Amino acid sequence: MKCAIWCAPCTPSRYIKYLNPASWILWLDFDTALSEINTTYVFFAAKNCNFLHNFNMKTSLKLNNGSEMPMVGYGMWQSDTPEELESALNTALAVGYRHFDTAWGYRNEDVFGRVLKKWFAEGKVKREELFIVTKLPPTGNHPDRIELYLLDSLKALQLDYVDLYLIHNPATIKTQPDGFTPVRDANGRIVVDTSATLEQSWWKLEEQVTLGRCKAIGLSNFSPEQVIRICKCAKSIKPANHQVELNASYPRKELRKVCAANGVTVTAFAPLGSPGRKIYKGYTATGADSIVPIPPLLTDPVVTRIAGKHGKTPAQVLLRFLGQLDIITLAKSVNADRIKSNFALTGWELDSQDMADLDGLDLKVEGGTWGFDWKNALGGIEDHPEFQLAG
């Protein structure tokens, strides 16, 4: 109670409710409270007690268009067959997931569209209860092709609009006249397209919001500098969200600061470390394109110890950790039990020691793997000046 005693004399009575032994001060209304509380006392208490942690986990974050984005999403990348994904989506919807993440590039929007159509027809869920995200691939990241791709995604999804449309990668790939087939050089390498700027793509995306095809627009795999550039160039609609590789090994603190300063919410992809990929080709001390193991987050001794302490799974600990930092998470699973447990993140909390221990897993830039995956899957994309190996 020491902190409460220190703060109480300078704290207007309506904020006393935020002072309790379990949570001390919740971040919830902290900014508002700070404007009225004697800040010297609060920061003195914070510094000396190390208590200023957010133990709370919101169910959704408000976006810059006023809509609410659910904190726990279901990721659709890398399921093996349409049948497997269909069954997983039915489980996820039944469990209560309302935020779903797909992409034109995952080639499974049609599977999701069929599942949604059935759920709508049976009256089990309404469109407005869902938050659906899809993404513009590098072949479409050009003002002349954005409309083509968004309409193609909407057709596959059998929807009139998506809640959030993201530029999947800041780089652009040159296409054949059909707008879809990538151009490759004589060695089979992707040819990049630098005939338009990222800013021009963004302005075209703003038009799509006005046309009602997406409620919000955002970014994925952008660097902090690129986020700032897009926020500055926006005519009337700034990015609502930035989806990036982010987990306890790669918490992206600098990038998150930039996003927070610009009112951009953050979504973590690969929140469990994406263990489905056992290895990736990255850079090590031995040089480029070495085979590097994925950081084994789910079996990390710190994570498993905290999981044991709370009687939770390592995945729940990793997801709740990000949730308490106000980071939206997308875990992918096609296993019914894991789909359920990955969603069961409320009714318990990580304490300040847990948060500090998980914070200690930060490998900084070494924790990032995704730029390498793009480069390995689409060899040649790294020649684009906007491509980011690590943000």
Residues that bind ligand NAP (CB under 6 A): 75-78, 101, 168, 220-221, 243, 269-276, 298, 313, 315, 330-335, 338, 341-342
Helices of type H across 75-145: 82-95, 109-121
Residue with the CB atom nearest ligand NAP in the bound state: 75
Cβ-based nearer residue to ligand NAP, 209 or 378: 378
Residue type at 387 in one-letter notation: F
The minimum distance between CB 339 and ligand NAP, in angstroms, equals 8
User: Of 322, 371, 384, 327, which is closest to residue 142 (Cα–Cα)?
Assistant: 384
Could you give the angle at the alpha carbon of 256 between the alpha carbons of 251 and 261, nearest 5°? Answer: 165
Cβ-based nearer residue to ligand NAP, 213 or 242: 242
User: Of 306, 304, 316, 310, which is closest to residue 340 (Cα–Cα)?
Assistant: 316
The minimum distance between CB 54 and ligand NAP, in angstroms, equals 22
The minimum distance between CB 131 and ligand NAP, in angstroms, equals 13
Annotated catalytic residue within 97, 106, 165, 250: 106
Cβ-based nearer residue to ligand NAP, 15 or 74: 74
Residue 97 annotated among the catalytic residues of the structure: no
Element holding 268 (H helix, E strand): strand 265-269
Q: Is 212 exposed, middle or buried (0-12, 13-18, 19+ CB in 10 A)?
A: exposed
Under 8 Å between Cβ of 168 and 136: yes
Cβ-based nearer residue to ligand NAP, 3 or 361: 361
The minimum distance between CB 28 and ligand NAP, in angstroms, equals 27
Quick check: helix, strand or coil at residue 338? helix
- Residue 158 structure tokens: 């059998």
Instruction: Cite the active site residues.
Output: 106
